[in-house]
Protein backbone atom coordinates (compact mmCIF):
# COMPACT_ATOMS: atom_id res chain seq x y z
CA UNK A 1 0.00 0.00 0.00
CA UNK A 2 1.31 3.44 -0.97
CA UNK A 3 1.84 5.83 1.92
CA UNK A 4 3.14 9.38 1.78
CA UNK A 5 6.51 8.53 3.21
CA UNK A 6 7.04 5.74 0.70
CA UNK A 7 5.73 7.93 -2.11
CA UNK A 8 8.13 10.73 -1.19
CA UNK A 9 11.04 8.27 -1.20
CA UNK A 10 10.02 6.80 -4.57
CA UNK A 11 9.72 10.29 -6.01
CA UNK A 12 13.16 11.29 -4.68
CA UNK A 13 14.65 8.09 -6.08
CA UNK A 14 13.07 8.38 -9.53
CA UNK A 15 13.89 12.06 -9.90
CA UNK A 16 17.50 11.52 -8.85
CA UNK A 17 17.18 13.70 -5.74
CA UNK A 18 18.77 11.12 -3.42
CA UNK A 19 22.42 11.17 -2.47
CA UNK A 20 24.32 8.15 -3.88
CA UNK A 21 24.47 6.61 -0.39
CA UNK A 22 20.71 7.01 0.20
CA UNK A 23 19.97 5.67 -3.31
CA UNK A 24 22.10 2.61 -2.57
CA UNK A 25 20.29 2.06 0.73
CA UNK A 26 16.96 2.46 -1.08
CA UNK A 27 17.98 -0.12 -3.69
CA UNK A 28 18.93 -2.55 -0.92
CA UNK A 29 15.51 -1.97 0.59
CA UNK A 30 13.86 -2.61 -2.80
CA UNK A 31 15.73 -5.89 -3.17
CA UNK A 32 14.18 -7.07 0.10
CA UNK A 33 10.72 -5.50 -0.29
CA UNK A 34 8.96 -6.83 -3.39
CA UNK A 35 5.98 -4.51 -2.95
CA UNK A 36 8.26 -1.44 -2.86
CA UNK A 37 10.11 -2.65 -5.95
CA UNK A 38 6.79 -3.15 -7.77
CA UNK A 39 5.62 0.36 -6.83
CA UNK A 40 8.86 1.90 -8.09
CA UNK A 41 8.55 -0.05 -11.34
CA UNK A 42 4.91 0.96 -11.75
CA UNK A 43 5.69 4.66 -11.27
CA UNK A 44 8.57 4.40 -13.71
CA UNK A 45 6.21 2.89 -16.27
CA UNK A 46 3.45 5.44 -15.61
CA UNK A 47 5.93 8.28 -15.93
CA UNK A 48 7.07 6.89 -19.30
CA UNK A 49 3.44 6.49 -20.35
CA UNK A 50 2.54 10.11 -19.56
CA UNK A 51 5.68 11.28 -21.37
CA UNK A 52 4.98 9.06 -24.39
CA UNK A 53 8.29 7.28 -23.84
CA UNK A 54 8.98 3.61 -24.27
CA UNK A 55 9.73 1.23 -21.41
CA UNK A 56 10.44 -2.44 -22.13
CA UNK A 57 8.64 -5.26 -20.38
CA UNK A 58 10.28 -6.85 -17.38
CA UNK A 59 12.13 -10.06 -18.21
CA UNK A 60 10.03 -12.32 -16.00
CA UNK A 61 6.73 -11.76 -17.84
CA UNK A 62 5.22 -14.96 -19.22
CA UNK A 63 4.90 -14.88 -23.02
CA UNK A 64 4.56 -18.61 -23.70
CA UNK A 65 1.13 -18.63 -25.34
CA UNK A 66 2.08 -15.84 -27.72
CA UNK A 67 5.53 -17.31 -28.44
CA UNK A 68 3.87 -20.61 -29.39
CA UNK A 69 1.52 -18.84 -31.78
CA UNK A 70 4.28 -16.78 -33.41
CA UNK A 71 6.29 -19.98 -33.92
CA UNK A 72 3.38 -21.77 -35.63
CA UNK A 73 3.15 -22.34 -39.38
CA UNK A 74 -0.22 -20.60 -39.30
CA UNK A 75 1.41 -17.39 -38.05
CA UNK A 76 4.28 -17.68 -40.53
CA UNK A 77 1.86 -18.16 -43.43
CA UNK A 78 -0.13 -15.13 -42.36
CA UNK A 79 3.06 -13.10 -42.10
CA UNK A 80 3.96 -14.07 -45.66
CA UNK A 81 0.51 -12.99 -46.83
CA UNK A 82 0.73 -9.52 -45.33
CA UNK A 83 4.32 -9.08 -46.52
CA UNK A 84 3.29 -10.02 -50.05
CA UNK A 85 0.38 -7.58 -49.95
CA UNK A 86 2.66 -4.87 -48.53
CA UNK A 87 5.23 -5.24 -51.29
CA UNK A 88 2.58 -5.36 -53.99
CA UNK A 89 0.85 -2.29 -52.47
CA UNK A 90 4.14 -0.36 -52.32
CA UNK A 91 5.05 -1.12 -55.92
CA UNK A 92 1.58 -0.15 -57.18
CA UNK A 93 1.47 3.13 -55.29
CA UNK A 94 4.89 4.52 -55.99
CA UNK A 95 4.08 6.35 -59.22
CA UNK A 96 0.78 8.06 -58.47
CA UNK A 97 1.69 11.44 -59.98
CA UNK A 98 -0.85 13.82 -61.51
CA UNK A 99 -1.01 13.24 -65.30
CA UNK A 100 0.52 16.62 -66.20
CA UNK A 101 3.51 16.10 -63.91
CA UNK A 102 3.91 12.56 -65.19
CA UNK A 103 3.88 13.79 -68.81
CA UNK A 104 6.47 16.45 -68.03
CA UNK A 105 8.64 13.91 -66.26
CA UNK A 106 8.37 11.46 -69.14
CA UNK A 107 9.43 14.23 -71.57
CA UNK A 108 12.35 15.13 -69.37
CA UNK A 109 13.24 11.49 -68.97
CA UNK A 110 13.32 10.92 -72.74
CA UNK A 111 15.68 13.89 -73.13
CA UNK A 112 18.17 12.79 -70.54
CA UNK A 113 17.73 9.02 -70.62
CA UNK A 114 20.31 8.52 -73.34
CA UNK A 115 22.85 10.49 -71.37
CA UNK A 116 22.27 8.73 -68.08
CA UNK A 117 21.67 5.21 -69.37
CA UNK A 118 25.33 4.44 -69.63
CA UNK A 119 26.20 5.86 -66.22
CA UNK A 120 23.41 4.07 -64.36
CA UNK A 121 24.24 0.76 -65.95
CA UNK A 122 27.82 1.31 -64.86
CA UNK A 123 26.71 2.11 -61.33
CA UNK A 124 24.84 -1.21 -61.04
CA UNK A 125 27.86 -3.10 -62.39
CA UNK A 126 30.14 -1.20 -60.03
CA UNK A 127 28.11 -2.14 -56.98
CA UNK A 128 26.98 -5.65 -57.81
CA UNK A 129 29.74 -8.13 -57.29
CA UNK A 130 29.35 -11.90 -57.21
CA UNK A 131 31.67 -12.05 -54.23
CA UNK A 132 28.84 -10.52 -52.17
CA UNK A 133 26.78 -13.65 -52.77
CA UNK A 134 26.79 -16.04 -49.83
CA UNK A 135 28.07 -19.57 -49.92
CA UNK A 136 25.41 -22.17 -49.22
CA UNK A 137 26.51 -24.93 -46.96
CA UNK A 138 24.03 -27.79 -47.08
CA UNK A 139 22.68 -28.74 -43.65
CA UNK A 140 22.61 -32.40 -44.60
CA UNK A 141 24.23 -34.57 -47.17
CA UNK A 142 20.82 -35.16 -48.78
CA UNK A 143 20.30 -31.43 -49.44
CA UNK A 144 21.88 -30.94 -52.84
CA UNK A 145 19.06 -28.86 -54.26
CA UNK A 146 20.34 -25.53 -52.94
CA UNK A 147 23.74 -26.23 -54.53
CA UNK A 148 21.98 -26.87 -57.84
CA UNK A 149 20.33 -23.44 -57.63
CA UNK A 150 23.73 -21.83 -57.03
CA UNK A 151 25.27 -23.73 -59.92
CA UNK A 152 22.48 -22.77 -62.35
CA UNK A 153 22.79 -19.15 -61.22
CA UNK A 154 26.58 -19.12 -61.64
CA UNK A 155 26.20 -20.60 -65.13
CA UNK A 156 23.74 -17.79 -65.88
CA UNK A 157 20.93 -20.28 -66.52
CA UNK A 158 18.47 -18.03 -64.76
CA UNK A 159 15.22 -19.68 -65.92
CA UNK A 160 16.52 -23.02 -64.70
CA UNK A 161 17.67 -21.44 -61.42
CA UNK A 162 14.20 -19.93 -61.00
CA UNK A 163 12.43 -23.30 -61.51
CA UNK A 164 14.82 -25.01 -59.10
CA UNK A 165 14.41 -22.23 -56.54
CA UNK A 166 10.59 -22.27 -56.60
CA UNK A 167 10.53 -26.04 -56.22
CA UNK A 168 13.13 -25.89 -53.42
CA UNK A 169 11.25 -23.27 -51.40
CA UNK A 170 7.94 -25.12 -51.78
CA UNK A 171 9.31 -28.50 -50.77
CA UNK A 172 11.85 -27.62 -48.06
CA UNK A 173 10.86 -26.60 -44.57
CA UNK A 174 14.25 -25.99 -43.01
CA UNK A 175 16.93 -24.27 -45.04
CA UNK A 176 19.75 -21.76 -44.94
CA UNK A 177 18.03 -18.38 -45.31
CA UNK A 178 20.87 -17.23 -47.61
CA UNK A 179 19.10 -19.14 -50.37
CA UNK A 180 16.68 -16.16 -50.52
CA UNK A 181 19.58 -14.12 -51.90
CA UNK A 182 19.99 -16.52 -54.82
CA UNK A 183 16.23 -16.57 -55.40
CA UNK A 184 16.10 -12.77 -55.37
CA UNK A 185 19.15 -12.38 -57.62
CA UNK A 186 17.70 -14.91 -60.07
CA UNK A 187 14.52 -12.83 -60.31
CA UNK A 188 16.60 -9.66 -60.61
CA UNK A 189 18.58 -11.11 -63.52
CA UNK A 190 15.24 -11.93 -65.18
CA UNK A 191 14.10 -8.33 -64.50
CA UNK A 192 11.24 -9.59 -62.30
CA UNK A 193 11.81 -6.78 -59.82
CA UNK A 194 8.81 -7.22 -57.52
CA UNK A 195 9.49 -10.91 -57.06
CA UNK A 196 13.15 -10.14 -56.35
CA UNK A 197 12.09 -7.64 -53.68
CA UNK A 198 9.83 -10.21 -52.03
CA UNK A 199 12.74 -12.68 -51.71
CA UNK A 200 15.07 -10.01 -50.34
CA UNK A 201 12.38 -8.87 -47.94
CA UNK A 202 12.12 -12.46 -46.65
CA UNK A 203 15.87 -12.34 -46.04
CA UNK A 204 15.67 -8.98 -44.24
CA UNK A 205 12.84 -10.14 -42.00
CA UNK A 206 14.37 -13.56 -41.29
CA UNK A 207 16.13 -14.34 -38.04
CA UNK A 208 19.38 -15.03 -39.92
CA UNK A 209 22.48 -13.32 -38.60
CA UNK A 210 23.03 -12.14 -42.18
CA UNK A 211 19.56 -10.65 -42.56
CA UNK A 212 20.89 -7.17 -43.37
CA UNK A 213 22.11 -8.61 -46.69
CA UNK A 214 18.44 -8.45 -47.71
CA UNK A 215 18.61 -4.67 -47.48
CA UNK A 216 21.72 -4.41 -49.64
CA UNK A 217 20.31 -6.65 -52.35
CA UNK A 218 16.98 -4.73 -52.26
CA UNK A 219 19.06 -1.61 -52.90
CA UNK A 220 20.53 -3.34 -55.96
CA UNK A 221 16.99 -3.94 -57.26
CA UNK A 222 16.19 -0.23 -56.97
CA UNK A 223 19.55 0.62 -58.53
CA UNK A 224 18.82 -1.59 -61.52
CA UNK A 225 15.23 -0.30 -61.69
CA UNK A 226 16.62 3.23 -61.44
CA UNK A 227 14.21 4.02 -58.65
CA UNK A 228 16.31 6.60 -56.84
CA UNK A 229 13.75 7.44 -54.17
CA UNK A 230 13.49 3.92 -52.81
CA UNK A 231 17.18 3.32 -53.48
CA UNK A 232 18.10 6.24 -51.22
CA UNK A 233 15.60 5.19 -48.55
CA UNK A 234 17.04 1.69 -48.49
CA UNK A 235 20.63 2.95 -48.40
CA UNK A 236 19.70 5.31 -45.57
CA UNK A 237 18.32 2.35 -43.64
CA UNK A 238 21.57 0.44 -44.21
CA UNK A 239 23.78 3.27 -42.95
CA UNK A 240 21.88 3.50 -39.68
CA UNK A 241 23.92 0.58 -38.36
CA UNK A 242 27.60 0.05 -39.02
CA UNK A 243 27.24 -3.70 -38.66
CA UNK A 244 24.86 -3.84 -41.64
CA UNK A 245 26.12 -5.68 -44.69
CA UNK A 246 28.01 -3.41 -47.10
CA UNK A 247 27.63 -0.39 -44.82
CA UNK A 248 30.61 1.37 -46.45
CA UNK A 249 29.42 0.67 -49.97
CA UNK A 250 26.01 2.11 -49.02
CA UNK A 251 27.65 5.30 -47.75
CA UNK A 252 29.71 5.66 -50.96
CA UNK A 253 26.75 4.93 -53.22
CA UNK A 254 24.64 7.51 -51.42
CA UNK A 255 27.40 10.08 -51.94
CA UNK A 256 27.58 9.21 -55.63
CA UNK A 257 23.83 9.58 -56.00
CA UNK A 258 23.92 13.00 -54.35
CA UNK B 1 -21.08 0.85 -36.76
CA UNK B 2 -17.50 1.39 -35.58
CA UNK B 3 -17.50 -1.91 -33.72
CA UNK B 4 -19.09 -3.60 -36.73
CA UNK B 5 -16.40 -2.23 -39.06
CA UNK B 6 -13.69 -3.32 -36.64
CA UNK B 7 -15.11 -6.83 -36.64
CA UNK B 8 -15.13 -6.92 -40.44
CA UNK B 9 -11.44 -5.99 -40.51
CA UNK B 10 -10.52 -8.38 -37.69
CA UNK B 11 -12.32 -11.27 -39.39
CA UNK B 12 -10.55 -10.44 -42.64
CA UNK B 13 -7.20 -10.61 -40.87
CA UNK B 14 -8.10 -13.92 -39.26
CA UNK B 15 -9.08 -15.41 -42.60
CA UNK B 16 -6.17 -13.81 -44.46
CA UNK B 17 -8.71 -12.16 -46.80
CA UNK B 18 -6.32 -10.45 -49.24
CA UNK B 19 -8.95 -8.13 -50.74
CA UNK B 20 -9.83 -6.53 -47.41
CA UNK B 21 -6.20 -6.50 -46.22
CA UNK B 22 -5.32 -4.54 -49.38
CA UNK B 23 -8.10 -2.09 -48.44
CA UNK B 24 -6.62 -1.78 -44.93
CA UNK B 25 -3.29 -0.86 -46.55
CA UNK B 26 -4.92 1.68 -48.86
CA UNK B 27 -7.04 3.31 -46.15
CA UNK B 28 -4.64 3.30 -43.24
CA UNK B 29 -1.00 3.02 -44.30
CA UNK B 30 -0.66 6.62 -45.63
CA UNK B 31 -1.42 8.10 -42.19
CA UNK B 32 1.20 5.84 -40.60
CA UNK B 33 3.74 6.76 -43.32
CA UNK B 34 3.13 10.43 -42.62
CA UNK B 35 3.58 9.98 -38.85
CA UNK B 36 6.77 7.92 -39.18
CA UNK B 37 8.33 10.17 -41.83
CA UNK B 38 7.71 13.13 -39.52
CA UNK B 39 9.40 11.23 -36.70
CA UNK B 40 12.83 10.27 -38.06
CA UNK B 41 11.65 7.34 -40.18
CA UNK B 42 11.34 6.33 -43.81
CA UNK B 43 8.63 4.90 -46.03
CA UNK B 44 10.19 1.45 -45.60
CA UNK B 45 10.18 1.83 -41.81
CA UNK B 46 6.49 2.74 -41.95
CA UNK B 47 5.65 -0.28 -44.04
CA UNK B 48 7.52 -2.63 -41.72
CA UNK B 49 5.85 -1.16 -38.64
CA UNK B 50 2.42 -1.39 -40.29
CA UNK B 51 2.99 -5.06 -41.12
CA UNK B 52 4.16 -5.82 -37.60
CA UNK B 53 1.10 -4.11 -36.13
CA UNK B 54 -1.24 -6.18 -38.33
CA UNK B 55 0.67 -9.36 -37.52
CA UNK B 56 0.63 -8.74 -33.78
CA UNK B 57 -3.02 -7.70 -33.81
CA UNK B 58 -3.95 -10.99 -35.46
CA UNK B 59 -2.10 -12.87 -32.71
CA UNK B 60 -4.05 -10.95 -30.07
CA UNK B 61 -7.35 -11.84 -31.69
CA UNK B 62 -6.36 -15.50 -32.05
CA UNK B 63 -4.80 -16.04 -28.65
CA UNK B 64 -6.56 -13.51 -26.44
CA UNK B 65 -10.04 -13.20 -28.04
CA UNK B 66 -9.23 -9.50 -28.24
CA UNK B 67 -11.88 -7.08 -29.43
CA UNK B 68 -11.43 -3.46 -30.50
CA UNK B 69 -13.70 -1.03 -28.66
CA UNK B 70 -12.70 2.05 -30.66
CA UNK B 71 -12.43 2.23 -34.45
CA UNK B 72 -10.10 -0.22 -36.19
CA UNK B 73 -8.23 2.70 -37.76
CA UNK B 74 -7.69 4.44 -34.41
CA UNK B 75 -6.46 1.21 -32.85
CA UNK B 76 -4.06 0.44 -35.69
CA UNK B 77 -2.65 3.98 -35.75
CA UNK B 78 -2.00 3.92 -31.99
CA UNK B 79 -0.41 0.47 -32.22
CA UNK B 80 1.86 1.71 -35.03
CA UNK B 81 2.85 4.82 -33.05
CA UNK B 82 3.73 2.65 -30.04
CA UNK B 83 5.70 0.23 -32.19
CA UNK B 84 7.61 3.11 -33.77
CA UNK B 85 8.55 4.52 -30.34
CA UNK B 86 9.75 1.03 -29.45
CA UNK B 87 11.79 0.79 -32.65
CA UNK B 88 13.41 4.20 -32.13
CA UNK B 89 14.30 3.21 -28.57
CA UNK B 90 15.87 -0.05 -29.78
CA UNK B 91 17.88 1.81 -32.42
CA UNK B 92 19.17 4.25 -29.81
CA UNK B 93 20.09 1.34 -27.58
CA UNK B 94 22.03 -0.31 -30.41
CA UNK B 95 23.96 2.92 -31.02
CA UNK B 96 24.71 3.38 -27.31
CA UNK B 97 25.96 -0.18 -26.95
CA UNK B 98 28.07 0.16 -30.11
CA UNK B 99 26.47 -2.76 -31.83
CA UNK B 100 26.34 -5.06 -28.81
CA UNK B 101 22.77 -5.63 -27.76
CA UNK B 102 20.63 -8.38 -26.33
CA UNK B 103 19.56 -10.88 -28.96
CA UNK B 104 15.88 -11.74 -28.68
CA UNK B 105 14.17 -14.21 -30.99
CA UNK B 106 11.74 -12.73 -33.48
CA UNK B 107 8.87 -14.64 -31.84
CA UNK B 108 9.74 -13.34 -28.37
CA UNK B 109 10.13 -9.83 -29.70
CA UNK B 110 6.64 -9.97 -31.24
CA UNK B 111 5.21 -11.37 -27.98
CA UNK B 112 6.84 -8.59 -25.97
CA UNK B 113 5.44 -5.97 -28.34
CA UNK B 114 1.93 -7.43 -27.94
CA UNK B 115 2.18 -7.32 -24.15
CA UNK B 116 3.56 -3.79 -24.22
CA UNK B 117 0.56 -2.73 -26.29
CA UNK B 118 -1.71 -4.43 -23.71
CA UNK B 119 0.07 -2.58 -20.91
CA UNK B 120 -0.40 0.70 -22.80
CA UNK B 121 -4.14 -0.02 -23.05
CA UNK B 122 -4.34 -0.92 -19.35
CA UNK B 123 -2.81 2.44 -18.38
CA UNK B 124 -4.97 4.40 -20.81
CA UNK B 125 -8.10 2.66 -19.57
CA UNK B 126 -7.32 3.51 -15.95
CA UNK B 127 -6.35 7.11 -16.71
CA UNK B 128 -9.77 7.67 -18.29
CA UNK B 129 -11.34 6.67 -14.94
CA UNK B 130 -9.64 9.59 -13.17
CA UNK B 131 -11.24 13.01 -12.79
CA UNK B 132 -10.26 15.64 -15.36
CA UNK B 133 -8.44 17.53 -12.63
CA UNK B 134 -6.40 14.47 -11.67
CA UNK B 135 -5.50 13.78 -15.31
CA UNK B 136 -4.21 17.33 -15.77
CA UNK B 137 -2.37 17.26 -12.47
CA UNK B 138 -0.65 13.94 -13.20
CA UNK B 139 0.25 14.99 -16.73
CA UNK B 140 2.08 18.01 -15.31
CA UNK B 141 3.60 16.02 -12.44
CA UNK B 142 4.99 13.23 -14.64
CA UNK B 143 6.33 15.81 -17.07
CA UNK B 144 8.40 17.01 -14.10
CA UNK B 145 6.60 20.34 -13.66
CA UNK B 146 7.63 21.88 -10.34
CA UNK B 147 5.17 21.96 -7.42
CA UNK B 148 5.60 25.75 -7.48
CA UNK B 149 4.30 25.89 -11.08
CA UNK B 150 1.46 23.49 -10.19
CA UNK B 151 0.44 25.79 -7.29
CA UNK B 152 0.22 28.73 -9.70
CA UNK B 153 -1.64 26.83 -12.41
CA UNK B 154 -4.24 25.32 -10.07
CA UNK B 155 -4.47 28.23 -7.61
CA UNK B 156 -3.57 25.99 -4.67
CA UNK B 157 -2.77 27.58 -1.30
CA UNK B 158 0.80 26.30 -1.21
CA UNK B 159 3.17 23.56 -2.36
CA UNK B 160 2.09 21.26 0.45
CA UNK B 161 -1.48 21.33 -0.89
CA UNK B 162 -0.18 20.60 -4.39
CA UNK B 163 1.84 17.68 -3.04
CA UNK B 164 -1.24 16.28 -1.23
CA UNK B 165 -3.39 16.54 -4.39
CA UNK B 166 -0.76 14.92 -6.61
CA UNK B 167 -0.27 12.18 -4.04
CA UNK B 168 -4.02 11.39 -3.96
CA UNK B 169 -4.21 11.23 -7.75
CA UNK B 170 -1.11 9.04 -8.00
CA UNK B 171 -2.46 6.71 -5.33
CA UNK B 172 -5.85 6.50 -7.05
CA UNK B 173 -4.23 5.65 -10.39
CA UNK B 174 -1.80 3.14 -8.85
CA UNK B 175 -4.68 1.45 -6.98
CA UNK B 176 -6.80 1.25 -10.15
CA UNK B 177 -3.94 -0.35 -12.05
CA UNK B 178 -2.97 -2.72 -9.24
CA UNK B 179 -6.54 -3.92 -8.70
CA UNK B 180 -6.78 -5.02 -12.31
CA UNK B 181 -5.87 -8.66 -12.85
CA UNK B 182 -3.73 -7.65 -15.87
CA UNK B 183 -1.32 -5.82 -13.54
CA UNK B 184 0.47 -8.99 -12.43
CA UNK B 185 0.77 -10.20 -16.03
CA UNK B 186 2.00 -6.97 -17.57
CA UNK B 187 3.78 -4.71 -15.08
CA distance A89 to chain B (A): 7
Binding-face residues of B in 5-64 toward A, CB within 8 A:
13, 16, 18, 21-22, 25-26, 29, 42-45, 47-48, 50-51, 54-55, 58-59, 62-63
- CA A252, distance to chain mean position in Å, is 21
- Where helices occur in A16-98 by DSSP H, the ranges are 20-32, 34-50, 64-71, 73-92
Best of A2, A10, A38, A46 to mutate (most B CBs within 10 Å, chain B): A46
The pLDDT, as a whole number, for residue A256 is 82
Q: Span A78-93, mean pLDDT?
A: 85
A126 contacts chain B (CB < 8 A): no
Question: Which is nearest to B9 in space by CA: B79, B76, B78, B82?
Answer: B76
Tell me the pLDDT band of B114, cut-offs 50, 70 and 90.
very high
Q: Can you tell me the distance from the alpha carbon of B157 to that of B151, in angstroms, rounded to the nearest whole number? A: 7
ipTM of predicted complex = 0.89
Q: Integer distance in angstroms from the first to the last C-alpha of chain A?
A: 61
Q: Is the pLDDT of residue B56 over 60?
A: yes
More confident residue, A174 or A9: A9
Q: What is the pLDDT of residues A40-68, one digit of tens each?
A: 999 999 999 999 999 998 878 888 899 99
Supply the pTM of this predicted model. Answer: 0.63
Which residues on chain A are in Cβ contact (under 8 Å) with B123? 45-46, 49
Q: Contact A51/B29, CB-based, under 8 Å?
A: no
Chain A residues with CB-CB distance to B47 below 8 A: 86, 90
| A39 neighbourhood in chain B, CB within 8 Å | 174
CATH topology for A128-257 is: 1.25.40
pLDDT, tens digit, 9 for 90 and up, residues B139-170: 999 998 999 999 999 999 999 999 999 999 99
Using a CB-CB distance cutoff of 8 angstroms, which residues of chain A are in contact with residue B106? 70, 205, 207
- Domain layout of chain A by residue ranges: 4-50, 128-257
Query: Helix-strand-coil percent breakdown of chain A, rounded to 5?
Result: 70, 0, 30
Amino acid sequence: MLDKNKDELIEQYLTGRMTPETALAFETLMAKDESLAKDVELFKQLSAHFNKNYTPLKNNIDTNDLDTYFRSNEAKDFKKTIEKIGISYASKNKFKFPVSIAAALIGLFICVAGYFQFNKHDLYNDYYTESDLPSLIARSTTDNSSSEIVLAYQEKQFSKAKTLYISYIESTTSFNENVYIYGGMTYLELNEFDKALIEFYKMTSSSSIDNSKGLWFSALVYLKKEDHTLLKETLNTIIQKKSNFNYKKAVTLLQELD
Amino acid sequence: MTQQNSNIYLNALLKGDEKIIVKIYGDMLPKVVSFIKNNKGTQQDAQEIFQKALYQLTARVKIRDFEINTSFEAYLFTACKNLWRRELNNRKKEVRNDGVFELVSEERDNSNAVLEQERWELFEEKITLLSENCKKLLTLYFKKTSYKAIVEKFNYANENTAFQRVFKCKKRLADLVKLDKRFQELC
